Structure 1
Amino acid sequence: MTVIGVVGAGERRWRPSAPLDLALTLSPHRRGGGDPAWRRTPDGAVWRTSRTPDGPATLRVTENGGEVRGQAWGPGAGWLLEQLPALLGADDDVDGFARLLSGLAGSRSDPATARTAAFVAGIAARSPGLRIGRTLRVFEALVPAVLEQKVVGREAWRAWKWLLRTYGEPAPGPAPSGMLVTPPPEVWMRVPSWDWHRAGAEAVRARTIVNAARHADKLEATGGGVRSAEADRLLRALPGIGVWTSAEVRQRAHGDPDAPSVGDYHLPSIVGWALTGRKTDDAGMLELLEPFRGHRHRVVRLIELTGMRPPARGPRMPARDYRSF
């Protein structure tokens, strides 16, 4: 194995105060199979790369006997290790969620909400190690989210992999073969139109990413200490960033447990089916999730983990290949 740029290697051990499912907590940062920036190896370790304020870095995380071990390499190694607890949800208010569910499930004035809360409590009990962590890297979360706008996942992930393999840089340290670090904003700004086309991203998504790259410093300022509502406002002030993309970014970069992905093609039907046995739309989904305000995204994640889906009928969203246009 070739070791790339071992500058600033380090290690940190951390013991969470509650059970932690490492792979489940970190899986939202994986963009499809073969994501060059995320890997889970047979030994159970999760590897991910990031472009930190101090530069590129590789992180390897393992858990054994309730203790987490983080190893990092590259100029940004120290920053990644400092943020390790936040990445793994150390600040996630799971106790507040449990209190909310207990109060709702015990309500005698609203039996329907009580039944729904009891169901959610049941599925939460199946995934006690789920945490919603934050990366504090806003632009890094925004690029793949924009690529996923209004397309099926495999189309977006194909574009993400192509762009990273073309413009990313090798992951520092003893990372698994093929791992890459996403390029900095100035490189995204220089990607020519024909390479966006070759990646399968049409002009609208390309312009959105390039424009966001020009404002990357302002975006990163929303990563720490900014309330979610303010982060949402700042994100949606950029052309091409709507409610869905903002939520997808805040879920990952800000660790927002209350940012449901409104505008998702399938999500309302999944939530409606799980909670009522009927499909619904965005408005109906938000109505169903309202009792869980403060934790609406968390409830959606728990529902998705059940695998519950409505019967597959009607049209499916087609995969498009812009490279042939």
Structure 2
Amino acid sequence: MTEGNFVDYVKIHVTSGKGGQGSRHMRREKYIPKGGPDGGDGGRGGHVIIRADKNLWTLYHLKFKKHFRAEHGESGGKQTSTGADGADVYVDVPLGTVVRDKETNDILFELTEDGEQKVIVKGGRGGMGNAHFKTATNQTPRYAQPGEEGVELDIILELKILADVGLVGFPNAGKSTLLSVITAAKPKIDNYEFTTLKPNLGIVEYRNHQTFVVADIPGIIEGAAEGKGIGHRFLRHIERNSTLLFLIPADAQDIKEQYEILVDELRRYNPELLDKERLVAISKSDMLDEELKAEMKVLLDKDFKGIPYLFISSVAHQGLTELKDKLWEMLH
């Protein structure tokens, strides 16, 4: 999947079908010239249904299709026959999709399981035929109900990635490089900030053919919780990760300060994010000699009380096995 094909936010317009008209038919057969009303009910209009599909990873397929309209129900017929229901329309979305009302911005529902379906707008009910309105004093009613109108709604679809591990770090911390080394993903990599503008997913192959999913997400900058930079579009993707991997380069001026800024951004966006398991990886550590590493460990033991940390180098392939072992342990 190329970066340009990753779409995590779309607006669409959905319209359910109108219910069919009830029939006003009068029974007319040989030898029964005045058989009374036998008009059938109209069929219901089609629903518009949002359906989760595990084979989808992005909302790209909805980028250019903005309108979904279900079929109208058919009118009732003679001999109290009911009209056919209008065909439902399905909008397939990836797992982890949040559906919002565009006007109010309220969350209507979320889809997290494969095959899960939710009706977003119901089709109109079919009108009742004149057979329903026959009474002792009105034996030949010549009226029937019209079908209910369909419903129109503008909705927003937001994707929150379903991954086991979310990579958290400032731009240019080495997240894309790490993902490209421990998974088969091929994210765009370069030596400038904000190379990653859209999330990348990679599957880590662990021991005994076991796997877990890592998401490399655009780097945080200070103020992301207020929407600066990529802001909320980034932060929403880590809400579903069960473990957060903080990546801080070894050449950072103050590793503890960088970590605290990252944590504070998460806290301001959603304090529940801090309930997740955390692991700190000091990247680009191939530039450190053993003496410097030992000195840094003394400081890090004080700074990261209770938070596990380790040294890695994606380029030199140092500490990656230990990293995968630790992540697997935390996930299980």
Same fold, TM-score > 0.5, yes or no: no
Instruction: With the length of structure 1 as denominator, give the TM-score of the two structures.
Output: 0.22
More helix by share: 1
Whichever structure has more strand as a proportion of its residues is 2
Higher alpha-carbon Rg: 2
Larger RCO (CA within 8 A; separation ≥ 6): 1
